């Protein structure tokens, strides 16, 4: 086995890195995950994730974690409504969508990011994840790398996998290619105890998702675990908007004034989002990796997930691609017919092509969802009259 007696370091304990750690441990490999979060209780930001049968769920099946997934997903959270700025419902699948339909490729169950991390963590051998370990730099040593962590300590690994997300510090060791700005900014908010703090929005949401479309701007809401609601105000803006034209993200009065002006033709019910959201809200400029990227493969370093191919979230593919990367990389590394370098090259070639197709779909969806006629576009997309 190629990985016998090799020490593997995965940098980043997101869904991609942890899935890979689990799949490699099933092969008997020696794996450590270095994660900058202080411990396993660190709050995982972001909306729930819908896992797709052929990618995210396929990786969990291979990892033997489907029972754990079924015990932790959020039935009904994938039910969607499409609305206009007046909160008029134009499409809803609440009435006929089944809450559990595993095996149907169109069933995309939602899971809270924290719950997914917990499932993966609990499946790993004890002490696999080294918490509070921020990757700082690395230098070549022997056949592998000497990694320096944020506290100055050093660890050696024969094979390093960059799973450290969109702002990867390891990516430059493989390529200079950088992501481009998509022209869209999403302001992310979260509401705790939503049933009592945001009763009108909570009743509107009905435990599922809302996509409300105006002209070149929208609101995307989703039920999270523990009676939380996550939401995004998503709109087109110049790249420097965050620093020059945005509101004060930690100041409620400033945020509300900005929202009422920016979304001036939207019904008052949406104000509740900014009246009660936790502060600060987080501005997320949406980036995408070039679709034609490639780099010379190395025998001791590769990457997966957002580090390799960050893309806009408008096709719900990001986490699914990250987990499928983990599945395919683990399979390539297990092949008895190739060297380590050949395995990594085969993985990267396929991964770049697959991710480019998903990124193209995500960019196209982003344009459609932020067009002047976004509501009509989305109703046609969802097959509504």
Ligand X SMILES: Cc1cc2nc3c(=O)[nH]c(=O)nc-3n(C[C@H](O)[C@H](O)[C@H](O)COP(=O)(O)OP(=O)(O)OC[C@H]3O[C@@H](n4cnc5c(N)ncnc54)[C@H](O)[C@@H]3O)c2cc1C
List interacting residues with ligand X (CB under 6 A). 11-17, 34-37, 46-47, 49, 134-135, 163-165, 169, 186, 188, 284, 305-306, 313, 316-320, 322
Q: Check if the beta carbon of residue 312 is closer than 8 Å to that of residue 363.
A: yes
Cβ closest to ligand X, residue 16 vs residue 85: 16
Minimum CB separation from ligand X for residue 314, in Å? 9
Minimum CB separation from ligand X for residue 149, in Å? 8
Minimum CB separation from ligand X for residue 109, in Å? 12
Cβ closest to ligand X, residue 199 vs residue 381: 381
Measured CA to CA, the distance from residue 121 to residue 262 in angstroms comes to 41
DSSP secondary structure string, 318-341? HHHHHHHHHHHHHHHHH-TTS-HH
Cβ closest to ligand X, residue 204 vs residue 211: 211
Minimum CB separation from ligand X for residue 179, in Å? 12
Measured CA to CA, the distance from residue 124 to residue 147 in angstroms comes to 22
Minimum CB separation from ligand X for residue 92, in Å? 19
Q: Check if the beta carbon of residue 236 is closer than 8 Å to that of residue 245.
A: no
Minimum CB separation from ligand X for residue 336, in Å? 28
Measured CA to CA, the distance from residue 137 to residue 329 in angstroms comes to 23
Minimum CB separation from ligand X for residue 297, in Å? 19
Minimum CB separation from ligand X for residue 33, in Å? 9
Write out the E strands in 300-372: 301-303
Cβ closest to ligand X, residue 317 vs residue 345: 317
Cβ closest to ligand X, residue 15 vs residue 247: 15
Which residue from 300, 301, 305 is spatially nearest to 318, judged by alpha carbons?
Answer: 305
264: left (phi over 0), alpha (psi -120 to 50) or beta: alpha
Question: How far from 356 is each of 83, 182, 227, 302, CA to CA, in Å?
Answer: 30, 15, 36, 17
Cβ closest to ligand X, residue 38 vs residue 143: 38
Measured CA to CA, the distance from residue 16 to residue 10 in angstroms comes to 10
Q: Check if the beta carbon of residue 77 is closer than 8 Å to that of residue 51.
A: no
Which residue from 231, 207, 192 is spatially nearest to 77, judged by alpha carbons?
Answer: 207
Cβ closest to ligand X, residue 37 vs residue 348: 37
The residue written with tokens 């202080």 in the block is 38
Cβ closest to ligand X, residue 257 vs residue 291: 291
Measured CA to CA, the distance from residue 315 to residue 245 in angstroms comes to 28
Write out the E strands in the chain: 7-11, 30-34, 49-50, 80-83, 89-92, 110-111, 129-130, 135-141, 144-149, 154-157, 159-162, 180-191, 209-213, 217-223, 229-236, 282-288, 301-303
Cβ closest to ligand X, residue 178 vs residue 200: 178
């Amino acid at each position: 086995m190629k990985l016998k007696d090799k020490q593997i370091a995965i940098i980043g304990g997101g869904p991609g890195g942890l899935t890979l750690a689990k799949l490699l441990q099933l092969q008997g490999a020696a794996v450590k995950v270095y994660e900058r979060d202080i411990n396993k209780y660190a709050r995982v930001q972001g909306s729930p994730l819908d896992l797709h049968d052929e990618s995210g769920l396929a990786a969990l099946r291979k990892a033997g974690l489907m029972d754990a997934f079924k015990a932790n997903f959020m039935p009904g959270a994938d039910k969607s409504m499409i609305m206009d700025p007046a909160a008029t419902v134009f499409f809803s699948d609440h009435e006929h969508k089944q809450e559990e339909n595993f095996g149907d490729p169109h069933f995309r169950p939602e899971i809270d990011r924290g719950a997914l991390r917990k499932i993966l963590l609990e499946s790993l051998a004890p002490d696999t994840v080294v918490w509070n370990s921020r990757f700082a730099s690395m230098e070549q040593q022997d056949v592998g790398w000497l990694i320096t962590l944020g506290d100055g300590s050093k660890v050696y690994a024969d094979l390093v996998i960059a799973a450290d997300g969109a702002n990867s510090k390891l990516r430059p060791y493989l390529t200079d290619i950088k992501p481009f700005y998509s022209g869209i900014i999403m302001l992310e908010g979260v509401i705790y105890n939503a049933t009592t703090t945001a009763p009108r929005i909570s009743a509107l949401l009905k435990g599922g998702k809302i996509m409300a479309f105006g002209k070149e701007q929208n609101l995307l809401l989703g039920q999270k675990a523990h009676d939380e609601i996550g939401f995004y105000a998503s709109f087109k803006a110049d790249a420097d908007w965050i620093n020059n034209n945005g509101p004060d993200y930690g100041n409620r009065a400033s945020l509300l004034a900005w929202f009422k002006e920016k979304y001036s033709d939207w019904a008052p019910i949406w104000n509740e989002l900014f009246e009660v959201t936790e502060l600060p809200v987080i501005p997320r400029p949406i980036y995408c990796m070039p679709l034609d990227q490639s780099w010379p493969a190395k025998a001791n370093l590769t990457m997966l997930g957002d580090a390799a191919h960050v893309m806009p979230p408008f096709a719900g593919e990001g986490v699914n691609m990250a987990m499928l990367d983990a599945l395919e990389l683990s399979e390539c590394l297990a092949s008895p017919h190739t060297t380590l370098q050949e395995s990594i090259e085969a993985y990267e070639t396929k991964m770049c092509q697959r991710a480019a197709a998903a990124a193209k779909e995500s960019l196209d969806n982003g344009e459609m969802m932020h067009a002047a006629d976004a509501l009509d576009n989305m109703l046609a997309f969802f097959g509504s009259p």
